Amino acid sequence: MAELDEQTVQVLSSTDKFFVQQQIRWGEAITQGCFEQKNRYHVFNKDTNEMIFVIKEESADLNRCCCAPVHSLFAEFYLADGNGESGGSPVMTLEREGCDCGSPCPKPCLCCFACNESCSDGAQLYAGDLSSGPAAGETNGQRSKNALLGQTIQPLNGGKFKPVLQIMERDAYKGDEPVTFAATRGPCVFGGCSELCCSSEFGVSRANPGMSVDDIHKLDFDYMSITKVKPGGFTQAMREAFTDSDLYEIEFKTPDVTPQQKANVLGSMVLLDYMFFERDNDMIGYDDGIKINCFNCFCYGCICSCTLHFKNNDS
């Protein structure tokens, strides 16, 4: 069974509140998404303000530029050194099989309604590094599970009108297959200009294998929380409006969460960011005038925008 290294276990065991800061990618910000750059996140122990992980995206250039934010990728977790930089090899790797340019494409309909496996999102978390390249479509679901720590999957129909993700861990007592230990549910309305004044909380509850979406919606969601934090001032508001750089808080509210479970929740947060908050020009866009996106709505796996469009007056 795959295991985390001792230092990673110690870091995760000693941290119950995480603060995650996505770094500004200036090339992407200046071109307003025309030049997509790889994401990078700094993960802090919120209580001590110590940086503990650096997360780096690895993805094929063509997939990232043409298929983002639903593209295939690796998110590699590195332990932060004393200077707040990544050192050594990845201690964990999140693999998301998404939409790829060319063939094979594991998820060709990922941006549509979640009506079957090809349009339902998800990601797998592995211990250590993955040897093959970040073009996840090369494996198309056939990667060896020897290093698997767990996975996050979107159920069919996506959770109906509130997004649901099932969080799983690898369980040695059940044949080393991933089993559901938690589920997260997000808001129906999020993103757009609403991000300037509202945080988006994805509550996490204990969950059992085989639970239906309707059963998950009835849970209390008081086990953990993943929150996309609203801007704390003018500078953060401008950062929110003109870049894809986001801030997250993750809190584990009970003492019985294992390091492996914490690792899988961190992986779920990265997947959530790509699924819901990596949309270019999500507040203000320019297409035959000015488009102001008030907010986004979730509907059976599809994201629908509520937009005000002020067209150019050619007269």
Here the CATH number for the domain that contains residue 134 is 3.20.90
Cα–Cα distance, 205 to 221 (Å, whole number): 4
- Where does residue 310 rank: exposed (0-12), middle (13-18), buried (19+ CB within 10 A)? exposed
Residue 274: enclosing H or E segment and its boundaries?
helix 259-276
Residue 298 falls within a domain, yes or no? no
Residue 230 falls within a domain, yes or no? yes
Could you give the angle at the alpha carbon of 253 between the alpha carbons of 230 and 81, nearest 5°? 70
Domain hosting 262: range is 6-282
pLDDT of residue 27: 54
Per-residue pLDDT tens digits for 115-155: 888 889 999 999 999 865 544 455 666 777 888 999 999 99
Residue 240 falls within a domain, yes or no? yes
Per-residue pLDDT tens digits for 145-155: 888 999 999 99
Residue 309 falls within a domain, yes or no? no
CA 259 distance to own-chain centroid: 19
Sign of the Cα torsion 75, 80, 81, 84 reads: positive
Residue 1 falls within a domain, yes or no? no
Residue 292 falls within a domain, yes or no? no
The torsion angle over the Cα atoms of residues 197, 280, 20 and 75, rounded to 10 degrees, is 160
Widest pairwise Cα distance in the chain: 72
Sign of the Cα torsion 27, 30, 32, 35 reads: negative
| Count: domains in the chain | 1
pLDDT tier at 315, thresholds 50, 70, 90: very low
Residue 71 falls within a domain, yes or no? yes
Residue 52 falls within a domain, yes or no? yes
CB 285 within 8 A of CB 51: no
Tokens of 174: 């059940």
